[in-house]
Amino acid sequence: MALTVRPGILDIAPYVGGESSLAGQGRVIRLASNEGALGASPQAVEAYRQAAATLHRYPDGGATRLREAIGRRFGLDPAAIVCGAGSDELIGLLTRAYAGPGDEVLYSRHGFLMYAIAAQSVGAVPVSAPETDLTADVDALLERVGPRTRIVFLANPNNPTGSYLPAAALRRLHEGLPPDVLLVIDAAYAEYVGRGDYEPGSTLVAAHDNVVMTRTFSKIFGLAALRLGWAYCPPAVADVLNRLRGPFNVPAPAQAAGVAALADTGHVERARAHNDRWLPWFRDALAGIGIASNPSVGNFVLVHFPAESGADAAAACEFLNQRGIIPRRMGAYGLGDWLRITIGLEEEMRAVVDALTAFADQGSLSTVQGRGGR
Ligand SMILES: *Cc1c(COP(=O)(O)O)cnc(C)c1O
């Protein structure tokens, strides 16, 4: 008899990450994975190096120093924090803990792809709610909550749209959920958001038993390679995650680098200031050449290449690739007319704008030629 895989698993479309290289191109500009433009703090790199001296030792399974450092930095109780190998691991563990075959896991239409994958991997049914203006719609989400709903995932800000829900909307979403539905607020880009009406979710977690906030070191802290994330949880959820996670799920070098990265507040400030400058610059430059983009409070921008323009997203992606630039295709998110472009270094953003200027010129030329020929 052949092996039988658990229901749902073969329905999973494997997650395809952003590309990191291009055939025939040496140096490339990687803007496909929302990695921090400035890279890691030099102090974090040094801590990582020093951890090389004790690679034969198991890590601290409780990630004690790291949880204490996170607690100090964000004013949270370290006992309520659970660290993971990236927030992806925590998303997976939460799904395993609270959803199973036949249950429903809800998220917004263009929400982060990992939510559907996590749901399918436990045999649960991924359910998506329509968005309004590429933004999560609280009423649409609440309308789709039913007796089988176990988890609602909300990336805030959302990847790939770049939109966010203000704290009041988040509260309203939570108020509309039954107490036996877990609300997971994925705040991977929280550090980039400068809006007064934004809140990453810790207040809701502190006040309720059914809300979790996940965070990551992969974005503004520039430590994506180390796979380091954390969740701020109600006590019972922290207890569940600590039972379910691997005993040594976070490598020691990642813990050490994480502690050092938190201490280097200047590096995070510079990364935020860089994004605050170059994201609006990039959107303005695109607008100047007639290319629309979606407002974003993250470190990335969804750029619109309408199919009917004759200069669609596939053509734009190919054009950028030929110039050594890697954006992210969005077909898997149901956003085939868009490319997602991470905010990189100044020279990288200038290179993208130069390339897209040439692309737009070529497009208008072919439109004119097309008309002339008819
Ligand atoms: C990048 C990202 C994460 C982070 O994943 P890690 O596993 O921590 O690297 C989580 N959620 C969203 C929405 C993201 O875009």
pLDDT tens per residue across span 56-88: 999 999 999 999 999 999 999 999 999 999 999
Q: 111: closest CA among 101, 123, 122, 119? A: 119
Placement of tokens 């280097």 in the chain = 264
Task: Provide the token pair at 165.
Answer: 């829900």
Enumerate domains of the chain plus CATH numbers: 9-39+266-362 (3.90.1150.10), 42-264 (3.40.640.10)
Angle at 162 between CA 283 and CA 148, to 5 degrees: 160
Q: 184: closest CA among 259, 119, 280? A: 119
In this prediction, residue 280 carries a pLDDT of: 98
- Rounded-to-integer distance, Cα 19 and Cα 329, Å: 10
In this prediction, residue 370 carries a pLDDT of: 40
**For the chain, what is the mean pLDDT?**
95
Q: pLDDT tens for residues 280-296?
A: 999 999 999 999 999 99
**Range name among 22-31, 65-74, 124-133, 326-335 with the lowest pLDDT average:** 22-31
Q: Tell me the CA–centroid distance for residue 229 and ligand 1, in Å.
A: 8
Nearest Cα residue to atom 12 of ligand 1: 188
In this prediction, residue 231 carries a pLDDT of: 98
Residues 6+ apart with CB under 8 A from 231: 81, 82, 84, 87, 90, 94, 212, 213, 214, 215, 237, 238, 241
Q: Tell me the CA–centroid distance for residue 218 and ligand 1, in Å.
A: 7
Q: Tell me the CA–centroid distance for residue 288 and ligand 1, in Å.
A: 31
